[in-house]
């Protein structure tokens, strides 16, 4: 898989509805995962969307998620750019450059879903998410 760059939108608690709406607009395949699938199924917010990805027939990719319980949701600043793929060297290089002089919000490290993931604001205040696919066993 090559690397991809696409928008990632944060929603308060309606990511499922929003992503299904975008699928009705653009068509394509929609994959949704909840917070409960990767943690306590009985925790508050377990049924909220941890990650959604719409891949359209036109080649667009749109990602989105609900804001986890306890985190602020600020409409107007609820948008980031996602870089994802399996080329670890390329994605680590981009991470190093984007986070240099910026603010690391989530360190780039292995996550519970098996991928390496990090979030930062670059020196211009633009939000970036980097996800490096984990190796399959």
> Residue 99 sits in a domain of what CATH number?
3.10.180.10
pLDDT band at 103 (very low <50, low <70, confident <90, very high): very high
- Tell me what pLDDT residue 65 has: 93
Asked if residue 137 belongs to a domain, the reply is: no
CB atoms within 10 A of CB 72: 9
Domain span at residue 56 reads 4-132
Bridge partners (DSSP) of residue 84 are 4, 131
Instruction: Confirm if 88 and 1 have CB atoms less than 8 A apart.
Output: no
Residues 6+ positions from 118 with CB-CB distance below 8 Å: 95, 99, 104, 106, 107, 108, 109, 129, 130
Alpha-carbon gap, residue 126 to 123, rounded angstroms: 8
Provide the token pair at 23.
Answer: 């699928």
Per-chain mean pLDDT for the chain = 89
**Per-residue pLDDT at 1 exceeds 70:** no
Asked if residue 41 belongs to a domain, the reply is: yes
Instruction: Confirm if 95 and 104 have CB atoms less than 8 A apart.
Output: no
pLDDT digits (tens, 9 = 90+) for 24-54: 988 999 999 999 998 778 888 899 999 999 9
Nearest residue to 7 (alpha-carbon basis) of 102, 129, 108: 129
pTM over 0.75: no
Return the higher-pLDDT residue of 16 and 59.
16
Residue linked to tokens 């990767």: 38
- Tell me what pLDDT residue 78 has: 78
Domain total of the chain:
1
Asked if residue 44 belongs to a domain, the reply is: yes
Instruction: Confirm if 95 and 40 have CB atoms less than 8 A apart.
Output: no
- Tell me what pLDDT residue 137 has: 45
**Per-residue pLDDT at 79 exceeds 80:** yes
**Per-residue pLDDT at 106 exceeds 90:** yes
């Amino acid at each position: 898989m090559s690397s991809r760059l696409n928008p990632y939108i944060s929603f308060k608690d309606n990511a499922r509805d929003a992503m299904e709406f975008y699928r009705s607009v653009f068509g394509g395949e929609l994959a949704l995962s909840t917070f409960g699938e990767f943690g306590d199924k009985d925790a508050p917010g377990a049924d909220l969307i941890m990650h959604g990805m719409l891949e359209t027939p036109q080649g667009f990719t749109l990602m989105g998620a609900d804001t986890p319980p306890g985190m602020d949701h600020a409409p107007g600043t609820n948008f980031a750019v996602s870089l994802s793929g399996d080329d670890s060297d390329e994605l680590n290089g981009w991470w190093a450059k984007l986070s240099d002089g910026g603010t690391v919000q989530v360190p780039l490290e292995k996550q519970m879903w098996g991928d390496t993931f990090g979030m930062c604001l670059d020196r211009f205040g633009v939000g970036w998410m980097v996800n490096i696919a984990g190796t399959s066993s």
